[in-house]
Amino acid sequence: VTTDGSPLYTATIPQNFLGARHQICVFHILKELNKVVSRILARHRRELKARLGEKGGRGRPKNSENLKVRQQKKQEKYITALFESRTLWVKRQLTEAEQKRLKKLSRGQSLLRALRELMETVYALFDKRCRTETARRKLSKLQKWHLFKRYPQLEAIRQKLEHPNLEKALEFLDDELLEKTSNAVERSNR
């Protein structure tokens, strides 16, 4: 049985379908992780904007303030680019141009590089070529990922990775006939 992540099913399926194996929909699991990643990116942009400081007064800046004003404009441009390209961190496959853009935006931002690396590893769990046992081993390694200690901002992702629903999403990974999502609409959105 494949269902979404609702807790309603965890008790009713074993009661009504004895011996049935239960899988959580991959689409719903990835959707929840993508939401968390988007929130982390938004928080990071807000922190950058807060560090930016106030804009100067009206009129042209004094000669002594020119450098500061130019740096502020450059930082504002970067923050805008981060917002416009926010989907690059959660997209499963990137084109060559998108990879270059992501690399440019992540330069000097180790948190952003770690975030993308994490999502690539999560997507690798659900790769069709990956066997269930291999995926479970990868998941247990991922749950102990060294960068979770370095970046407390990633704590919400670590909690999602330790949720029992994620392991249940790997249940039918080996089965070629069973779908990994709970309905046709989600299959077409994958």
Tens digits of per-residue pLDDT, 69-82?
788 889 999 999 99
Which of residues 11 and 32 earns the better pLDDT score?
A: 32
Which of residues 186 and 157 earns the better pLDDT score?
A: 157
The predicted structure's pLDDT at residue 64: 67
The predicted structure's pLDDT at residue 73: 87
3-class DSSP state for residue 179?
A: coil
**The pTM is what?**
0.80
* The pair of three-digit structure tokens given for residue 72, joined into one six-digit string: 């502020």
- Buried b / exposed e along 62-99 (16+ C-beta atoms within 10 A): eeeeeeeeeebeeeeebbeebeebeebbbeeebeeeee
> pLDDT category, 172, cuts 50, 70, 90?
confident
101-132 tens-digit pLDDT: 999 999 999 999 999 999 999 998 888 787 88
Give me the torsion for CA of 85, 37, 23, 7, rounded to 10°.
-130
Distance CA 30, CA 113 (A): 19
The predicted structure's pLDDT at residue 4: 79
The predicted structure's pLDDT at residue 78: 93
By C-alpha distance, which of 164, 186, 176, 188 is closest to 24?
164
- Placement of tokens 């141009």 in the chain: 97
3-class DSSP state for residue 2?
A: strand
